[in-house]
Chains A and B, each alone.
Chain A
Amino acid sequence: MITKRIIPCLDVKDGRVVKGVNFQGLHDVSSPVSLGKYYSDNGADELVFYDITASSEKRALFTDILKEVASTIFIPLTVGGGINTLDDFDRVLKCGADKVSVNSGAIKNPDLIYQAAKRYGDQCVVLSVDAKRVDGVFRVFAKGGRENTGMDAIEWIKRGVDNGAGEIVLNSIDTDGVKGGFDLEMLKAVCDVVSVPVIASGGAGNIEHFVKLFKTLPKVDAGLAASIFHFGEVKIKDLKQNLQENGIPVRL
């Protein structure tokens, strides 16, 4: 039986992990390489690296680091941030990424999903969507959640899957950062219309939230989180142990 995946997400800016990492016993907590290795050794099923570096000059630094991560960690790696063209896909795949996550780049140019899926296969293309309720409708937001595109999130996701997106990361802006649990209503609306894996993001505050996620929505394949793992509030091993005790299949 396929297991539910637990995925820590690392935001990397100018080659360093940002968003207040607080780890005991880890030598260099801001190093994507040592933090990635820590997670890999401690039960993460996959890693997501988001490059939030603004300038393209400094982006080369990220690909160097990615290479180093990919040569030390032997679990799947997804890379996102600043992916606008097929050349961007090429750049990160050559450094050892297994999947590439597109967000604003696909909003600007929806054909990017189709082109990338055709060249690298559906399994390589992850569509990441930041969505928020506006007057009772789920809308797609761009630019890190700052700009309402006006697009209907469910329609956008359906279209992305039709164009070849092999996985969906759904980040609810409404629950993100609140630590009150995942956005089950929004996730259900997405799971009801797509047949590809759905990764839940935004809102995890404790172990119970993951248990509730997978129990309420068995069609959700993975849970993604950043700060609760970075701050050690939730240890992945404890989380997985707990999921298993609740009858949810995990890799221990």
Chain B
Amino acid sequence: MVAIVDYGVGNLFSLVSSFKAIGVDAVATCDKAVIESADKIVLPGVGAFGDAVEKLVSSGLKDVVIEQAKKGKPLLGICLGMQMLFDVSLEYGEYKGLGLIKGQVRPISEVIPKDYKIPHIGWNALKFTKDCPLFKYVEEGEHVYFVHSYYGACCKDVVATAEYGANLTASVAKDNVYGCQFHPEKSGETGLKILKAFCEL
């Protein structure tokens, strides 16, 4: 069973549905016991980093997620959920993340050309930088759906990038901790294949 951490940020309908579509039992939950007993954990997220981290802390779920990840349980952060895995974010101030992935979350405006639109929104191709079991069913060049204005920087655990005037972090992995900047639940067949691979870890 996959536990999708529900800390009051965003709408988890599509995420729950996409696991159903690949025949995996998934539940959106804010119950610590359910997260502890799950085989896998998904950390979703939309909106601003500071708000989201604060909600994760005040819901009392931050420590559970960190504890479970440190025990070796597969964890997948999606979009802002991926960014929250990092040490720190510079979105509207400076906020501490979960510290499971070494690096910083910084504005994409620092690295992309001035005439590129922000946010980076739409379908972009994956470029692999390291082997990663998340992509075992996916070919390089397949497209996934992005919506973001910040990216994972200063990070040695990048496993895939997307070209948008710069190579932006598309995916990170370290041991049992994984992150996707894009939305697998909105990336058609390719996204479902990535979720399937995560479930098979």
Seed contacts A70-B17, A76-B186, A123-B147; 18 additional CB < 8 Å A-B pairs = A1-B164, A3-B124, A40-B188, A67-B13, A70-B13, A74-B18, A76-B145, A93-B11, A94-B11, A95-B13, A120-B47, A123-B119, A166-B119, A166-B121, A167-B121, A197-B117, A221-B121, A251-B143
Interface size class of B (residues with CB under 8 A): 20 to 34
Q: How far is the CA of A15 from the CA of B47 in the complex (A)?
A: 31
Q: How far is the CA of A76 from the CA of B11 in the complex (A)?
A: 13
Task: Contact check, B17 vs A121: say whether CB atoms are below 8 A apart.
Answer: no
Report chain A residues within 8 Å CB of B196: none
B binding-site residues for A, Cβ under 8 Å? 11, 13-14, 17-18, 20-21, 46-48, 117-125, 143, 145-147, 163-164, 185-189, 191-192
Give per-residue flags for A27-54: 1 if the beta carbon is below 8 A from chain B beta carbons, else 0: 0000000000000100001000000000
Q: How far is the CA of A196 from the CA of B122 in the complex (A)?
A: 12
Q: How far is the CA of A112 from the CA of B176 in the complex (A)?
A: 43
From 205 to 240 in chain A, residues with beta carbon under 8 angstroms from any chain B beta carbon are: 221-222
Set B125, B147, B163, B186: member contacting A74, Cβ < 8 A: B186
Q: Name the CB-closest residue of B to A3.
A: B123
With both chains docked as a complex, state the minimum distance between the C-beta of A244 and any C-beta of chain B, in angstroms. Answer: 12
Report chain A residues within 8 Å CB of B123: 2-3, 5, 45, 251
Set B11, B146, B189, B191: member contacting A96, Cβ < 8 A: B11
Task: Contact check, A1 vs B124: say whether CB atoms are below 8 A apart.
Answer: yes
Q: Name the CB-closest residue of B to A67.
A: B13
Report chain B residues within 8 Å CB of A98: 14, 186
Q: How far is the CA of A94 from the CA of B131 in the complex (A)?
A: 36
Report chain A residues within 8 Å CB of B143: 3, 251
Give per-residue flags for A1-29: 1 if the beta carbon is below 8 A from chain B beta carbons, else 0: 11101000000000000000000000000
Q: Closest 7 interchain pairs by CB?
A: A71-B17, A251-B143, A96-B13, A251-B123, A2-B122, A3-B123, A123-B147
With both chains docked as a complex, state the minimum distance between the C-beta of B168 and any C-beta of chain A, in angstroms. Answer: 11
From 63 to 91 in chain A, residues with beta carbon under 8 angstroms from any chain B beta carbon are: 67, 70-72, 74-76
**Interface size (A, Cβ < 8 Å)?**
30
Q: Is A246 an interface residue (CB 8 A)?
A: no
Q: How far is the CA of A45 from the CA of B144 in the complex (A)?
A: 10
Report chain B residues within 8 Å CB of A76: 145, 186
Task: Contact check, B121 vs A1: say whether CB atoms are below 8 A apart.
Answer: no
A-B contact pairs, 19 of them (CB 8 A): A1-B164, A2-B123, A5-B122, A5-B123, A45-B122, A67-B13, A72-B17, A74-B17, A74-B18, A74-B188, A94-B11, A95-B13, A96-B11, A98-B186, A121-B46, A166-B121, A167-B121, A221-B117, A222-B122
Report chain B residues within 8 Å CB of A94: 11, 13
User: A3-B143, A121-B46, A123-B147 are contacts. A75–B188 as well, Cβ < 8 Å?
Assistant: yes
Report chain B residues within 8 Å CB of A251: 123, 143
Task: Contact check, B122 vs A3: say whether CB atoms are below 8 A apart.
Answer: yes
Task: Contact check, A74 vs B14: say whether CB atoms are below 8 A apart.
Answer: yes
Q: How far is the CA of A70 from the CA of B15 in the complex (A)?
A: 10
With both chains docked as a complex, state the minimum distance between the C-beta of B90 and any C-beta of chain A, in angstroms. Answer: 18
Set B48, B125, B187: member contacting A1, Cβ < 8 A: B125
Q: How far is the CA of A222 from the CA of B20 in the complex (A)?
A: 30
Set B117, B120, B191: member contacting A196, Cβ < 8 A: B117
Report chain A residues within 8 Å CB of B125: 1, 3
Task: Contact check, A2 vs B124: say whether CB atoms are below 8 A apart.
Answer: yes
Report chain B residues within 8 Å CB of A115: none
Max chain B Cβ within 10 angstroms of own Cβ: one of A72, A75, A167, A196? A75
Max chain A Cβ within 10 angstroms of own Cβ: one of B17, B164, B187? B17
Q: How far is the CA of A167 from the CA of B118 in the complex (A)?
A: 11
